[in-house]
Protein backbone atom coordinates (compact mmCIF):
# COMPACT_ATOMS: atom_id res chain seq x y z
CA UNK A 1 0.00 0.00 0.00
CA UNK A 2 2.50 2.61 1.01
CA UNK A 3 6.02 3.50 1.93
CA UNK A 4 5.01 2.89 5.52
CA UNK A 5 5.25 -0.85 4.94
CA UNK A 6 8.76 -1.16 3.59
CA UNK A 7 10.41 -2.22 6.83
CA UNK A 8 10.45 -5.84 8.06
CA UNK A 9 7.22 -7.66 8.94
CA UNK A 10 4.95 -5.31 10.86
CA UNK A 11 3.36 -6.42 14.12
CA UNK A 12 -0.11 -5.89 12.70
CA UNK A 13 -1.05 -5.57 9.07
CA UNK A 14 -4.62 -4.86 8.04
CA UNK A 15 -5.50 -5.05 4.35
CA UNK A 16 -8.71 -3.91 2.64
CA UNK A 17 -10.80 -4.55 5.70
CA UNK A 18 -14.57 -4.20 5.20
CA UNK A 19 -17.40 -4.44 7.70
CA UNK A 20 -21.00 -4.16 6.61
CA UNK A 21 -23.83 -3.99 9.13
CA UNK A 22 -27.57 -4.45 9.16
CA UNK A 23 -28.94 -5.90 5.95
CA UNK A 24 -32.34 -6.60 7.51
CA UNK A 25 -35.26 -4.34 6.78
CA UNK A 26 -37.25 -2.54 9.44
CA UNK A 27 -41.01 -2.17 9.81
CA UNK A 28 -41.28 0.67 7.32
CA UNK A 29 -38.08 0.38 5.35
CA UNK A 30 -36.06 -1.97 3.27
CA UNK A 31 -32.71 -2.89 4.73
CA UNK A 32 -29.75 -0.91 3.50
CA UNK A 33 -26.33 -2.33 4.30
CA UNK A 34 -24.20 0.17 6.16
CA UNK A 35 -20.54 0.04 5.25
CA UNK A 36 -19.05 1.06 8.59
CA UNK A 37 -15.52 0.16 7.58
CA UNK A 38 -14.93 0.18 3.86
CA UNK A 39 -11.57 -1.01 2.59
CA UNK A 40 -9.16 0.04 5.30
CA UNK A 41 -5.44 -0.83 5.16
CA UNK A 42 -2.71 0.10 7.62
CA UNK A 43 0.06 -1.47 9.65
CA UNK A 44 1.56 -1.07 13.10
CA UNK A 45 5.18 -1.85 13.97
CA UNK A 46 6.29 -3.35 17.25
CA UNK A 47 6.56 -0.71 19.96
CA UNK A 48 4.94 2.14 18.04
CA UNK A 49 1.71 4.04 18.56
CA UNK A 50 -0.65 4.56 15.66
CA UNK A 51 -3.28 7.17 16.39
CA UNK A 52 -6.65 6.74 14.64
CA UNK A 53 -8.74 9.90 14.56
CA UNK A 54 -12.14 10.59 13.11
CA UNK A 55 -15.53 12.02 13.95
CA UNK A 56 -18.77 10.25 14.83
CA UNK A 57 -19.59 7.57 12.29
CA UNK A 58 -16.10 7.42 10.81
CA UNK A 59 -15.86 3.73 11.72
CA UNK A 60 -12.84 4.06 13.98
CA UNK A 61 -14.35 2.11 16.89
CA UNK A 62 -15.66 -0.62 14.59
CA UNK A 63 -12.15 -0.89 13.22
CA UNK A 64 -10.72 -1.48 16.70
CA UNK A 65 -13.24 -4.23 17.35
CA UNK A 66 -12.48 -5.87 13.99
CA UNK A 67 -8.75 -5.94 14.69
CA UNK A 68 -9.37 -7.62 18.03
CA UNK A 69 -11.80 -10.00 16.33
CA UNK A 70 -14.71 -8.99 18.51
CA UNK A 71 -16.48 -8.52 15.17
CA UNK A 72 -16.17 -10.67 12.04
CA UNK A 73 -14.95 -8.69 9.06
CA UNK A 74 -17.07 -8.88 5.88
CA UNK A 75 -13.91 -8.90 3.75
CA UNK A 76 -10.20 -8.23 3.99
CA UNK A 77 -7.36 -9.71 6.02
CA UNK A 78 -5.70 -9.12 9.38
CA UNK A 79 -2.15 -10.37 9.84
CA UNK A 80 -0.51 -10.50 13.24
CA UNK A 81 3.27 -11.03 13.25
CA UNK A 82 3.09 -12.26 9.67
CA UNK A 83 0.31 -14.84 10.26
CA UNK A 84 -3.15 -14.43 8.77
CA UNK A 85 -5.50 -14.39 11.76
CA UNK A 86 -8.64 -13.20 9.97
CA UNK A 87 -10.53 -16.47 10.25
CA UNK A 88 -9.16 -17.81 13.53
CA UNK A 89 -11.72 -19.28 15.90
CA UNK A 90 -11.96 -20.92 19.32
CA UNK A 91 -8.76 -21.64 21.22
CA UNK A 92 -6.47 -20.13 18.63
CA UNK A 93 -8.42 -16.89 18.58
CA UNK A 94 -8.19 -16.85 22.36
CA UNK A 95 -4.45 -17.27 22.35
CA UNK A 96 -4.21 -14.46 19.82
CA UNK A 97 -6.09 -12.24 22.25
CA UNK A 98 -3.36 -12.87 24.78
CA UNK A 99 -1.20 -10.83 22.43
CA UNK A 100 -3.83 -8.21 21.62
CA UNK A 101 -5.94 -6.54 24.28
CA UNK A 102 -8.39 -3.69 24.42
CA UNK A 103 -9.22 -0.81 26.76
CA UNK A 104 -12.61 0.83 26.32
CA UNK A 105 -13.81 4.38 26.84
CA UNK A 106 -16.15 3.84 29.72
CA UNK A 107 -14.35 2.66 32.85
CA UNK A 108 -17.77 2.31 34.49
CA UNK A 109 -19.26 -0.04 31.94
CA UNK A 110 -16.24 -2.20 31.19
CA UNK A 111 -15.59 -3.59 34.69
CA UNK A 112 -17.99 -6.13 36.19
CA UNK A 113 -19.32 -4.45 39.37
CA UNK A 114 -19.69 -7.79 41.19
CA UNK A 115 -16.04 -8.76 40.89
CA UNK A 116 -13.25 -7.40 43.04
CA UNK A 117 -10.36 -5.59 41.39
CA UNK A 118 -8.14 -8.61 42.08
CA UNK A 119 -10.61 -11.02 40.48
CA UNK A 120 -10.98 -8.73 37.47
CA UNK A 121 -7.25 -8.57 36.84
CA UNK A 122 -6.78 -12.28 37.58
CA UNK A 123 -9.54 -13.42 35.22
CA UNK A 124 -7.59 -13.17 31.93
CA UNK A 125 -4.74 -15.16 33.49
CA UNK A 126 -7.13 -17.88 34.66
CA UNK A 127 -8.66 -18.09 31.18
CA UNK A 128 -5.20 -18.42 29.68
CA UNK A 129 -4.19 -21.17 32.13
CA UNK A 130 -1.52 -19.46 34.22
CA UNK A 131 -0.30 -21.21 37.40
CA UNK A 132 -1.43 -19.99 40.79
CA UNK A 133 1.94 -18.57 41.90
CA UNK A 134 2.44 -16.76 38.66
CA UNK A 135 -1.05 -15.29 38.88
CA UNK A 136 -0.36 -13.90 42.35
CA UNK A 137 3.02 -12.46 41.33
CA UNK A 138 1.70 -10.89 38.15
CA UNK A 139 -1.36 -9.43 39.82
CA UNK A 140 0.86 -7.53 42.21
CA UNK A 141 3.41 -6.36 39.68
CA UNK A 142 0.75 -5.25 37.20
CA UNK A 143 -1.17 -3.29 39.82
CA UNK A 144 2.06 -1.53 40.81
CA UNK A 145 2.82 -0.83 37.17
CA UNK A 146 -0.45 1.08 36.69
CA UNK A 147 -0.13 2.90 39.99
CA UNK A 148 -2.82 1.12 42.01
CA UNK A 149 -1.84 -0.15 45.47
CA UNK A 150 -1.95 -4.01 45.40
CA UNK A 151 -3.64 -3.92 48.81
CA UNK A 152 -6.73 -2.56 47.00
CA UNK A 153 -7.21 -5.93 45.25
CA UNK A 154 -10.10 -6.91 47.51
CA UNK A 155 -12.12 -3.79 46.73
CA UNK A 156 -14.91 -3.40 44.17
CA UNK A 157 -14.95 -1.09 41.12
CA UNK A 158 -17.52 1.31 42.62
CA UNK A 159 -15.01 2.20 45.34
CA UNK A 160 -12.73 3.78 42.74
CA UNK A 161 -12.89 7.01 40.75
CA UNK A 162 -13.07 7.11 36.95
CA UNK A 163 -9.33 7.60 36.54
CA UNK A 164 -8.51 4.74 38.90
CA UNK A 165 -10.96 2.48 37.15
CA UNK A 166 -9.28 3.24 33.87
CA UNK A 167 -5.97 2.24 35.50
CA UNK A 168 -7.58 -1.03 36.56
CA UNK A 169 -8.91 -1.63 33.03
CA UNK A 170 -5.40 -1.02 31.72
CA UNK A 171 -3.96 -3.45 34.29
CA UNK A 172 -6.45 -6.11 33.19
CA UNK A 173 -5.41 -5.58 29.57
CA UNK A 174 -1.68 -5.64 30.37
CA UNK A 175 -1.55 -8.62 32.66
CA UNK A 176 -1.03 -11.11 29.82
CA UNK A 177 1.92 -9.12 28.43
CA UNK A 178 0.27 -8.38 25.09
CA UNK A 179 2.27 -6.98 22.20
CA UNK A 180 -0.54 -4.70 21.04
CA UNK A 181 -3.06 -2.73 23.05
CA UNK A 182 -6.11 -1.24 21.32
CA UNK A 183 -7.28 1.82 23.22
CA UNK A 184 -10.72 3.07 22.22
CA UNK A 185 -11.18 6.65 23.51
CA UNK A 186 -9.40 5.71 26.75
CA UNK A 187 -9.34 9.22 28.23
CA UNK A 188 -12.35 10.98 26.76
CA UNK A 189 -14.61 10.20 29.74
CA UNK A 190 -12.05 11.57 32.19
CA UNK A 191 -11.49 15.07 33.54
CA UNK A 192 -8.46 16.82 32.09
CA UNK A 193 -6.36 16.58 35.24
CA UNK A 194 -6.92 12.80 35.33
CA UNK A 195 -6.53 12.48 31.54
CA UNK A 196 -2.93 13.70 31.83
CA UNK A 197 -2.20 11.05 34.47
CA UNK A 198 -3.46 8.25 32.22
CA UNK A 199 -1.63 9.54 29.13
CA UNK A 200 1.62 9.75 31.06
CA UNK A 201 1.04 6.25 32.43
CA UNK A 202 0.49 4.82 28.94
CA UNK A 203 3.72 6.42 27.76
CA UNK A 204 5.66 5.03 30.73
CA UNK A 205 4.35 1.53 30.10
CA UNK A 206 5.33 1.73 26.44
CA UNK A 207 8.86 2.89 27.27
CA UNK A 208 9.29 0.07 29.74
CA UNK A 209 7.69 -2.82 27.84
CA UNK A 210 7.89 -1.90 24.14
CA UNK A 211 4.16 -2.56 23.68
CA UNK A 212 2.47 -1.16 20.55
CA UNK A 213 -0.73 0.92 20.74
CA UNK A 214 -3.59 1.48 18.36
CA UNK A 215 -4.93 4.66 19.95
CA UNK A 216 -8.45 5.50 18.75
CA UNK A 217 -9.75 8.94 19.70
CA UNK A 218 -11.50 12.03 18.43
CA UNK A 219 -9.32 14.51 20.34
CA UNK A 220 -6.58 15.61 17.97
CA UNK A 221 -4.38 17.16 20.65
CA UNK A 222 -4.45 13.99 22.74
CA UNK A 223 -3.67 11.83 19.70
CA UNK A 224 -0.78 14.09 18.75
CA UNK A 225 0.60 13.82 22.25
CA UNK A 226 0.80 10.04 22.27
CA UNK A 227 1.18 8.88 18.64
CA UNK A 228 4.19 8.20 16.40
CA UNK A 229 2.03 8.01 13.29
CA UNK A 230 -1.55 9.13 12.78
CA UNK A 231 -4.33 7.92 10.46
CA UNK A 232 -7.41 10.05 9.77
CA UNK A 233 -10.71 8.31 9.01
CA UNK A 234 -13.76 9.73 7.31
CA UNK A 235 -16.94 7.69 6.74
CA UNK A 236 -15.31 4.26 6.89
CA UNK A 237 -12.14 5.06 4.98
CA UNK A 238 -8.68 6.26 5.91
CA UNK A 239 -8.06 9.50 4.05
CA UNK A 240 -4.52 10.24 5.23
CA UNK A 241 -1.72 8.51 7.15
CA UNK A 242 1.50 10.23 8.13
CA UNK A 243 4.06 10.60 10.85
CA UNK A 244 2.92 12.86 13.65
CA UNK A 245 5.17 15.68 12.48
CA UNK A 246 3.93 15.47 8.89
CA UNK A 247 0.27 15.08 9.74
CA UNK A 248 0.10 18.00 12.14
CA UNK A 249 2.77 20.10 10.43
CA UNK A 250 1.90 19.56 6.76
CA UNK A 251 -1.55 17.95 6.47
CA UNK A 252 -2.55 17.32 2.87
CA UNK A 253 -6.08 15.93 2.80
CA UNK A 254 -8.72 18.67 2.84
CA UNK A 255 -10.57 16.90 5.65
CA UNK A 256 -7.47 16.68 7.83
CA UNK A 257 -6.78 20.34 7.22
CA UNK A 258 -10.31 21.38 8.12
CA UNK A 259 -10.37 19.16 11.19
CA UNK A 260 -7.09 20.56 12.50
CA UNK A 261 -8.20 24.12 11.87
CA UNK A 262 -11.42 23.52 13.85
CA UNK A 263 -9.74 22.43 17.08
CA UNK A 264 -9.82 25.36 19.48
CA UNK A 265 -6.40 26.01 20.99
CA UNK A 266 -6.31 26.97 24.68
CA UNK A 267 -4.53 30.25 24.01
CA UNK A 268 -6.75 33.28 23.35
CA UNK A 269 -4.18 35.24 21.35
CA UNK A 270 -3.31 32.38 19.00
CA UNK A 271 -6.87 31.14 18.84
CA UNK A 272 -8.31 34.51 17.87
CA UNK A 273 -5.74 35.15 15.18
CA UNK A 274 -6.23 31.65 13.81
CA UNK A 275 -8.08 31.04 10.59
CA UNK A 276 -10.53 28.21 10.52
CA UNK A 277 -11.58 26.46 7.35
CA UNK A 278 -15.33 26.39 6.92
CA UNK A 279 -16.67 23.06 5.73
CA UNK A 280 -19.87 22.70 3.77
CA UNK A 281 -22.67 20.98 5.70
CA UNK A 282 -22.17 18.31 8.31
CA UNK A 283 -20.57 14.89 8.38
CA UNK A 284 -22.51 12.49 6.18
CA UNK A 285 -23.73 9.13 7.33
CA UNK A 286 -22.50 5.67 6.42
CA UNK A 287 -26.11 4.70 5.72
CA UNK A 288 -26.43 7.13 2.82
CA UNK A 289 -22.90 7.09 1.56
CA UNK A 290 -21.90 9.64 -1.04
CA UNK A 291 -20.36 8.07 -4.16
CA UNK A 292 -16.87 8.77 -5.43
CA UNK A 293 -14.72 10.45 -2.82
CA UNK A 294 -17.00 10.47 0.19
CA UNK A 295 -15.75 13.82 1.33
CA UNK A 296 -16.81 15.65 -1.83
CA UNK A 297 -20.13 17.03 -0.48
CA UNK A 298 -18.19 18.97 2.19
CA UNK A 299 -14.91 19.53 0.42
CA UNK A 300 -13.47 23.00 -0.21
CA UNK A 301 -10.72 21.70 -2.48
CA UNK A 302 -13.20 20.01 -4.85
CA UNK A 303 -14.96 23.36 -5.23
CA UNK A 304 -11.71 25.11 -5.94
CA UNK A 305 -10.61 22.41 -8.39
CA UNK A 306 -13.92 22.73 -10.23
CA UNK A 307 -12.90 26.23 -11.29
CA UNK A 308 -9.63 25.12 -12.90
CA UNK A 309 -10.10 25.15 -16.69
CA UNK A 310 -8.42 21.75 -17.14
CA UNK A 311 -10.71 19.91 -14.73
CA UNK A 312 -13.79 18.07 -16.06
CA UNK A 313 -16.84 18.98 -13.98
CA UNK A 314 -20.43 17.89 -13.63
CA UNK A 315 -23.53 19.22 -11.90
CA UNK A 316 -23.98 18.34 -8.25
CA UNK A 317 -27.10 19.90 -6.79
CA UNK A 318 -26.84 23.59 -7.61
CA UNK A 319 -23.06 23.43 -7.87
CA UNK A 320 -20.59 21.86 -10.24
CA UNK A 321 -17.89 19.62 -8.85
CA UNK A 322 -15.04 17.73 -10.52
CA UNK A 323 -16.31 14.49 -12.09
CA UNK A 324 -13.43 12.62 -10.49
CA UNK A 325 -14.55 13.63 -6.97
CA UNK A 326 -18.18 12.74 -7.62
CA UNK A 327 -17.53 9.42 -9.40
CA UNK A 328 -14.18 7.87 -8.51
CA UNK A 329 -12.90 6.66 -5.17
CA UNK A 330 -9.43 8.19 -4.81
CA UNK A 331 -6.42 5.90 -4.34
CA UNK A 332 -3.65 6.52 -1.88
CA UNK A 333 -0.87 8.70 -3.25
CA UNK A 334 2.45 8.77 -1.50
CA UNK A 335 3.51 12.41 -1.11
CA UNK A 336 6.43 12.06 1.31
CA UNK A 337 8.17 9.38 3.35
CA UNK A 338 5.48 7.61 5.37
CA UNK A 339 2.86 10.09 4.21
CA UNK A 340 -0.03 8.91 2.04
CA UNK A 341 -3.20 10.76 1.14
CA UNK A 342 -6.37 9.76 -0.71
CA UNK A 343 -7.36 12.84 -2.69
CA UNK A 344 -7.79 13.39 -6.45
CA UNK A 345 -6.33 16.86 -6.14
CA UNK A 346 -3.63 16.36 -3.54
CA UNK A 347 -1.25 18.51 -5.58
CA UNK A 348 -3.55 21.53 -5.79
CA UNK A 349 -2.52 24.50 -3.70
CA UNK A 350 -5.41 25.53 -1.45
CA UNK A 351 -6.55 29.13 -1.65
CA UNK A 352 -8.75 30.63 1.00
CA UNK A 353 -10.75 33.77 1.42
CA UNK A 354 -10.66 35.25 4.89
CA UNK A 355 -13.85 36.54 6.42
CA UNK A 356 -14.39 38.05 9.83
CA UNK A 357 -16.56 36.49 12.44
CA UNK A 358 -19.76 38.50 12.01
CA UNK A 359 -20.21 37.54 8.40
CA UNK A 360 -18.65 34.12 8.27
CA UNK A 361 -21.33 32.18 10.04
CA UNK A 362 -23.61 31.84 7.06
CA UNK A 363 -20.79 30.63 4.88
CA UNK A 364 -19.58 28.26 7.50
CA UNK A 365 -22.82 26.38 7.76
CA UNK A 366 -25.46 27.27 5.28
CA UNK A 367 -24.38 25.50 2.10
CA UNK A 368 -25.89 22.09 2.57
CA UNK A 369 -27.53 20.05 5.23
CA UNK A 370 -26.58 16.57 4.22
CA UNK A 371 -28.42 14.46 6.72
For the segment 203-242, give every residue that binds another protein (CB under 8 A). 203, 218, 220-222, 224-225
Angle at alpha carbon of residue 214, lines to 209 and 215, rounded to 5°: 105
- Closest distance of CB 68 from another protein, Å: 25
Question: Which pairing describes strands 212-217 and 49-53: parallel, antiparallel, or unpaired?
Answer: parallel
Restricted to residues 289-308, the positions that interact with another protein (CB under 8 A) are 300, 303-304, 307
Per-residue binding string, another protein, 38-57, x by CB under 8 A, is: -----------------xx-
What is d(CA 120, CA 87) in angstroms, rounded to the nearest whole number?
Answer: 28
Give the sign of the dihedral formed by CA 222, CA 227, CA 229, CA 233: negative
Interaction of residue 270 with another protein, rule CB under 8 A: yes
Interaction of residue 158 with another protein, rule CB under 8 A: no
- Closest distance of CB 350 from another protein, Å: 8
What is d(CA 115, CA 234) in angstroms, rounded to the nearest whole number?
Answer: 38
- Phi, psi values for residue 213, rounded to 5°: -120, 140
Contact with another protein (CB under 8 A) among 267, 308, 328, 331? 267
First to last CA, the chain: 33
What is d(CA 90, CA 253) in angstroms, rounded to the nearest whole number?
Answer: 41
What is d(CA 94, CA 96) in angstroms, rounded to the nearest whole number?
Answer: 5
Please count the residues of this chain forming the interface with another protein, following the rule CB under 8 A.
73
Give the nearer residue to another protein in terms of CB position, either 67 or 169.
169
Interaction of residue 193 with another protein, rule CB under 8 A: yes
Restricted to residues 72-101, the positions that interact with another protein (CB under 8 A) are none
Interaction of residue 27 with another protein, rule CB under 8 A: no
Stretch that binds another protein, among 41-49, 70-78, 274-282, 324-332 (CB under 8 A): 274-282
- Closest distance of CB 293 from another protein, Å: 16
Residues 1, 41: contact at Cβ < 8 Å?
A: yes
Restricted to residues 348-367, the positions that interact with another protein (CB under 8 A) are 350-358, 360-367
Question: Longest C-alpha distance within the chain, in Å?
Answer: 74
Amino acid sequence: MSAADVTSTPLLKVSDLVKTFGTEGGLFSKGVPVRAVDGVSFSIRAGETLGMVGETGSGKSTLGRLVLKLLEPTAGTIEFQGTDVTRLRGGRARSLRGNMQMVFQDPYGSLNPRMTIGELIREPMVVHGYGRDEITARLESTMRQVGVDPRMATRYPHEFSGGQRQRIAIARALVLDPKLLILDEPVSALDVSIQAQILNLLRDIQRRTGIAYLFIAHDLAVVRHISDRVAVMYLGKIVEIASREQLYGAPRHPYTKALLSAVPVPDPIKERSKQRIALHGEIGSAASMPGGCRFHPRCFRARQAAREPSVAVEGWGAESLPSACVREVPDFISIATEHVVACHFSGLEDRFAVTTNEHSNGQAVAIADLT
